[in-house]
Amino acid sequence: GFAQFVVDGVSEEQWKAIGPLPRRHGILAALLEEGRTERLADVRRDPRFKRWPAAHPDMSDFIGLPVRHGDETIAALFLANKRCPHPENTCGFTEEDEELLG
């Protein structure tokens, strides 16, 4: 699993209801293992997506990127549910967002 998982936008009560830290699988594992940025219109439709715990907040559009120290990926940062108008089945996150976060 992850050594530490920092969240924002989730209440303490909801965080406790979600349960233990996620294991390293799916898209978050890919961010750490493959070391490349992911921008997805709907994270739930990605073939690497498994499932969420029952109390997990719903997420759709997604941007995630590895955090590196030299050549080593030491963490991953991800954001979801960008609050902006965008056509259905497209990602609200843009190349500009990717550059800003990188």
Write down the pLDDT at residue 96.
92
SS3 15: helix
CATH of 12-101, one of 3.40.50.300, 3.90.1720.10, 3.30.450.40, 3.40.30.10: 3.30.450.40
Do 32 and 66 meet the contact criterion of CB atoms below 8 Å apart?
yes
pLDDT at 67 over 60: yes
Give the 3-state secondary structure of residue 48: coil
Q: What confidence category does residue 90 fall into, taking pLDDT thresholds of 50, 70 and 90?
A: confident
Domain ranges of the chain: 12-101
Angle at 76 (CA atoms; ends 55, 100), nearest 5 degrees: 110
Whole-model pTM: value is 0.78
